[in-house]
């Protein structure tokens, strides 16, 4: 049995029928977070049903049509990733995930999914990896964005779950688009110090929160107050998309965007990183990002992409953004 490290205290391992009791205990904790979107908890209510779920995946793996893996954090099963469909003949597969609250905010699912996608393309020669998510499942859709996938479209009222027909968003990445980014294992930090991997995870969280503040897909409301939380009060945001850079303080940046995202001018908007390079130097850090965005402005759908450069500083209350500049293509 292989074990793939996902960080200093996290591992990715095959999830097999003999894990059924541990899986059931985990699902009992995860039930409020998982069952609104996928029927893991519905299917796994006792030891027999939990065993049956894992046995179904074992049977499918035996004929190369699906696989399932668990994520262990500090020795405790907290979630997992899987190939829900794997069709080597067509070269198309689908990746999925689930996670309980104890595993959130560490990038575990994203790293685990990257490992599966790397394997599908590099080892199995797959052509396309898909990600299907209910339109309101923002956490799942955020993972697809972080993986650099493209939103192909929406299957309207495709799936019935608990008496409600749901729209399903389909995201994908193609073999020629995929850029494996191997993460160099980071050792334990010296006593009293924070490891580089822990700092990187915190910077990932800040960037994810900043980009997510603008999202108003599925009728949701943006939360631009998050920007004041992730920036230092003196932070600057610079748009370098015209003849001269346009420099904003936080208030002058937030106000017009909040209006546009709530008055119907800009709807179904989201923005996500597709690539990044982060460097940490003691109490300061820098991140260079490539991103994509999509939405409907004045009734017209658009897609776009661009680049951001972001500076971070460590404060008494944790890492914060200090400045950000962007250009659009």
Over the stretch 69-81, which tens digit does the pLDDT of each residue have?
Answer: 999 999 999 999 9
- Domain boundaries defined on the chain: 4-177, 196-328
Q: Where are the alpha helices (DSSP H) in the chain?
A: 20-34, 40-43, 47-62, 108-122, 138-146, 196-212, 225-230, 250-262
Pick the CATH number of 196-328 from 3.30.930.10, 3.40.47.10, 3.40.50.1970, 3.10.450.50: 3.10.450.50
Q: How many CB atoms lie within 10 A of CB 213?
A: 21
- Select from 162, 200, 160, 158 the least CA-distant residue to 181: 200
Q: What is the pLDDT of residues 16-41, one digit of tens each?
A: 999 999 999 999 999 888 887 777 66
- Bridge partners (DSSP) of residue 86 are 93
What 3-state class would DSSP assign to 300? Answer: strand
Is residue 206 a contact partner of residue 321, using CB atoms and an 8 Å limit? yes
- Look up the CATH superfamily of 4-177: Gcn5-related N-acetyltransferase (GNAT) (3.40.630.30)
pLDDT at 162: 77
Buried (b) or exposed (e) across 98-107, using 16+ Cβ within 10 A? bbbebbeebb
- Residue 25: count of CB within 10 angstroms of its CB: 13
- pLDDT (tens digit per residue) in 216-271: 988 888 999 999 999 999 999 999 987 889 999 999 999 999 999 999 999 999 99
Q: How far apart are CA 80 and CA 99, in angstroms?
A: 6
Mean pLDDT of the chain: 88
Distance CA 2, CA 144 (A): 25
């Amino acid at each position: 049995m292989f074990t793939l490290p996902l960080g200093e205290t996290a591992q990715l391992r095959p999830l097999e029928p003999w894990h059924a009791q541990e899986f059931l205990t985990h699902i009992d904790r995860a039930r409020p977070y998982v069952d609104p979107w996928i029927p893991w908890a519905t299917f796994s209510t006792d030891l027999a049903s939990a065993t049956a779920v894992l046995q179904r995946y074992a049977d499918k793996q035996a004929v190369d049509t699906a696989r399932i893996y668990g994520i262990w954090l500090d020795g405790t099963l907290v979630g997992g990733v899987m190939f829900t469909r794997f069709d080597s003949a067509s070269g198309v597969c689908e990746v999925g995930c689930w996670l309980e609250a104890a595993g959130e905010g560490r990038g575990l699912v994203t790293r685990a999914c990257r490992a599966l996608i790397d394997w599908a393309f590099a080892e199995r020669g797959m052509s396309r990896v898909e990600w299907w998510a209910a339109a309101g499942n923002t956490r799942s859709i955020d993972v697809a964005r972080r993986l650099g996938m493209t939103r192909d479209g929406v299957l309207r009222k495709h799936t019935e779950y608990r008496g409600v027909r749901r729209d399903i968003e389909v995201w994908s990445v193609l073999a020629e688009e995929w850029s494996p980014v191997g993460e160099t294992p980071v050792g334990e930090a010296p006593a009293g110090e924070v490891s580089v991997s822990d700092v990187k995870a915190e910077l990932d969280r800040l960037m994810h929160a900043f980009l997510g503040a603008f999202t108003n897909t599925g009728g949701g409301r943006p939360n631009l107050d998050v920007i004041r939380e992730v920036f230092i009060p003196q932070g600057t945001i610079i748009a370098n998309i015209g003849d001269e850079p346009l420099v904003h303080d936080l208030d002058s940046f937030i106000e017009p965007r909040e209006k546009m995202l709530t008055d119907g001018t800009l709807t179904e908007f989201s923005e996500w990183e597709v690539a990044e390079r982060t460097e940490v130097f003691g109490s300061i850090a820098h991140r260079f990002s490539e991103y994509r965005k999509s939405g409907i402005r004045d009734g017209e759908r658009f897609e776009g992409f661009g680049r951001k450069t972001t500076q971070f500083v460590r404060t008494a209350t944790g890492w914060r953004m200090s400045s950000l500049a962007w250009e659009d293509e």
